[in-house]
């Protein structure tokens, strides 16, 4: 953060904004709602400061609290998410929804953002006893997880150099390119397996379509075929 030229310190408004944005990132990364104490610890601030940030985010409906006082992302973020790559969001939602219900797994689209992948669209099926939560806005490093490996596998050497800094592809990306899909187990979340295929649409950032489950399915080939068909449907539907 750039110091103020007048005082040599970080402007208070910028610091508050930074902490508010970091609070949203912490909530997106959390697997379950968190307490105010956990939020304060994650931000590295006193509980009273975390509470002030929370109240502001609540007022704008970016976060919400349940009856136990635990904090989760609020519905306003869904509206904001639709504004990121709106054409891709619109094209992806029907196919992602059908995929999630057909496979009984949480399905989602991620896009490359600098050296991280960010979840853009996600659907959790309601026709199974339990599914894995995956909130829009969740991000993780590009060297972890099936969606990241699938995205990297779709890059040309020139693209990789421009976006990731060099042309040396990871072993996971090379394997994904050879197979046509990527697999991961416990790379992002312990006990969670993911399967992903690349999703490249001109004019949009490199992306991947993925599903996550508690274990890799026995019918892996069928799942990959469903993913591939859904990715092709998204590309056809894109406007």
User: Which residue range forms the structural domain that includes residue 51?
Assistant: 12-74
Q: What does the pLDDT read at residue 8?
A: 43
User: Are 132 and 67 within one domain?
Assistant: no
Q: What does the pLDDT read at residue 46?
A: 93
**Is 138 within the bounds of a domain?**
yes
Q: What does the pLDDT read at residue 60?
A: 86
Rounded Cα–Cα distance for residues 67 and 96 (Å): 31
User: Are 141 and 224 within one domain?
Assistant: yes
Per residue in 134-184, pLDDT (tens digit) is 777 788 889 999 999 999 999 999 999 999 999 999 999 999 999 999 999
User: Are 126 and 224 within one domain?
Assistant: yes
User: Are 100 and 70 within one domain?
Assistant: no
**Is 20 within the bounds of a domain?**
yes
User: 132 phi and psi, to 5 degrees?
Assistant: -95, 130
User: Are 112 and 159 within one domain?
Assistant: yes
Domain final residue, candidates 37, 53, 74? 74
Q: Could you give the number of structural domains in the chain?
A: 2
Sign of CA dihedral 124, 125, 129, 131: negative
What count of Cα atoms within 13 Å lies in the side-chain half-sphere of residue 40? 11
User: Are 111 and 228 within one domain?
Assistant: yes
User: Are 141 and 214 within one domain?
Assistant: yes
In terms of phi and psi (left: phi > 0; alpha: psi -120 to 50; beta: otherwise), the region of 157 is alpha
Which regions of the chain are under pLDDT 70? 1-13, 31, 75, 77-85, 239
E strand or H helix that includes residue 36? helix 36-43
User: Are 85 and 60 within one domain?
Assistant: no
Q: What does the pLDDT read at residue 80?
A: 64
Q: Over pLDDT 70: what percentage of the chain?
A: 90
E strand or H helix that includes residue 153? helix 146-153
Q: What does the pLDDT read at residue 113?
A: 87
Q: What does the pLDDT read at residue 5?
A: 39
Q: What does the pLDDT read at residue 4?
A: 40
**Helix or strand or coil: residue 3?**
coil
User: Are 127 and 99 within one domain?
Assistant: yes
Residue at token pair 């902490």: 19
């Amino acid at each position: 953060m750039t110091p103020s030229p007048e005082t040599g310190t970080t402007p208070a408004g910028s610091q508050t904004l930074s902490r508010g944005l970091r609070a949203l990132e912490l909530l997106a990364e959390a697997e379950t709602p968190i307490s105010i104490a956990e939020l304060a610890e994650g931000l590295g601030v006193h509980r009273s400061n975390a509470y002030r940030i929370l109240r502001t985010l609540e007022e704008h409906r970016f976060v919400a609290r349940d009856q136990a006082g635990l904090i989760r992302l609020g519905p306003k973020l869904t509206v904001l998410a639709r504004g990121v790559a709106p054409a891709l969001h619109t094209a992806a939602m029907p196919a992602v929804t059908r995929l999630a219900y057909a496979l009984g797994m949480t399905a989602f689209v991620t896009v490359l953002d600098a050296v991280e992948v960010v979840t853009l669209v996600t659907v959790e099926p309601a026709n199974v006893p339990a599914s894995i939560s995956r909130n829009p806005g969740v991000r993780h490093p590009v060297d972890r997880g099936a969606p990241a490996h699938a995205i990297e596998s779709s890059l040309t050497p020139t693209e990789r150099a421009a976006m990731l800094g060099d042309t040396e592809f990871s072993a996971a990306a090379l394997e994904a390119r050879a197979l046509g899909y990527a697999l991961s187990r416990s790379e992002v979340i312990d006990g969670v397996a993911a399967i992903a295929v690349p999703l490249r649409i001109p004019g949009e950032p490199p992306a991947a379509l993925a599903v996550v489950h508690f274990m890799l399915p026995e019918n892996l080939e069928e799942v990959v075929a469903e993913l591939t068909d859904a990715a092709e449907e998204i590309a056809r539907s894109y406007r």
